[in-house]
Amino acid sequence: MDFRISKKLLFVCFFLCAALFVSAQPNWQPDDSKGFTAHDPVMIQQDSTFYLFVTGGGMAKSTDLENWTRIKPVPSRLEWVTDDIIPGYRGGYWAPDIQFYDGKYYLYYSPSAFAKNTSAIGVMTNTTLDQDSPDYKWEDHGMIVQSVPGRDFWNAIDANVYFERGWGGRGGTGWLSFGSFWGGIKLVKLDSTMTALAEPQEWYTIAKQERTFGMPDTDPGDGTIEAPFIYRRHQYYYLFVSVGYCCRGLESTYETIVGRSRDIRGPYFDKEGVPMYAGGGTYVAGPNEDYAGIGHCAVYDFDGKTWFVAHGYDKKDRGRSKLVVKEITWDRAEWPTVVFEEPEDEKVNPNEEIKE
């Protein structure tokens, strides 16, 4: 994303029109006729149903990861967000993260202002995601961490939480990764409630990109990195992040890259051994014949397969942001590859006679 324009350029229109459009038409939904419209998607499975959460508070559900039905959104008016925290706040939030821990669903989210790191990360919980259940109710626990322009050289947005399970599945440690542009991706330890920072505080910088020297601290700069997601496979923690620019439609350059570490605190290295704190990262997904850019990913294991969940800017639909769900395969060295189908006109029929 380009903070010199906005955190999410795509959502400038969303927030400017929200009061005039959405409030007057509460049943308004994006046109999904050419693919499911979504931005910053994350998901989780409860029983046989997959639940999708996106920027703006939207929710959808599916039983097959292909056909999605929009359902009532998560409450997006946050009472704890005042003008002292985010001047000019008009409701809503960006980049949710959904996790399940100790009998509860935790939804982490980021209210933010445009063009600056006036941002915060909060969390709400629910005991079920089934909206037909009498127990369905979101309880907002408020702010976990805040970034202030001129004070913090990082941005409290794009949260992802990884729970380290304790012995026998009891207890554990939560780690909150977040960040975009500025000084890169941060990792901080949570306390046992998973709704506040642990004390004494424990912070790490786990990834960043080169930034032009001399830019003011209040400027996001050009070190394009954001949207961390930590995934555990065997002995490695994998750190997926996005680089390049999102939210420019057909001009988007969004890419997903990855590094890995044996310690969640890092350092994370790419396939060539370059640390991610020094600009490293192995390519996972990006611009192709279908999408101008692909990023802000999440990675999950469902039904014995590993899935890559992201948004891509659809070349066949004027660069609109669409949900991308693809399988990940792993090579012998345990590095991931996202499986994109071959174009129909390039597929080879193995039974077809090859002519010289």
pLDDT at 285: 97
Burial class (CB in 10 A: 0-12, 13-18, 19+), 325: buried
CATH-assigned architecture of domain 9-341: 5 Propeller (2.115)
Give the domain ranges of the chain. Answer: 9-341
Look-up of token digits 């009532």: 72
Spatial strand order in the sheet of 139-147: 94-101, 104-110, 119-126, 139-147
pLDDT at 342: 56
pTM over 0.85: yes
pLDDT at 83: 87
pLDDT at 3: 42
Q: Which of the residues are catalytic?
A: 40, 226
pLDDT at 17: 37
Neighbours of 349 (CB within 10 A): 7
> In this predicted model, what pLDDT tens digit does every residue of 21-66 receive, in sequence order?
233 323 335 678 789 999 999 999 999 999 999 999 999 999 999 9
Cis peptide before 73 (omega within 30 of 0): no
What stretches in the chain show pLDDT beneath 70? 1-30, 114-115, 166-171, 342-356
DSSP state of 342: P
Pairing of strands 203-207, 225-233: unpaired
DSSP 229-286: EEEEETTEEEEEEEES--SSGGG---EEEEEEESSTT---B-TTS-BGGGT--EEEE-
Look-up of token digits 């000084």: 183
pLDDT at 1: 46
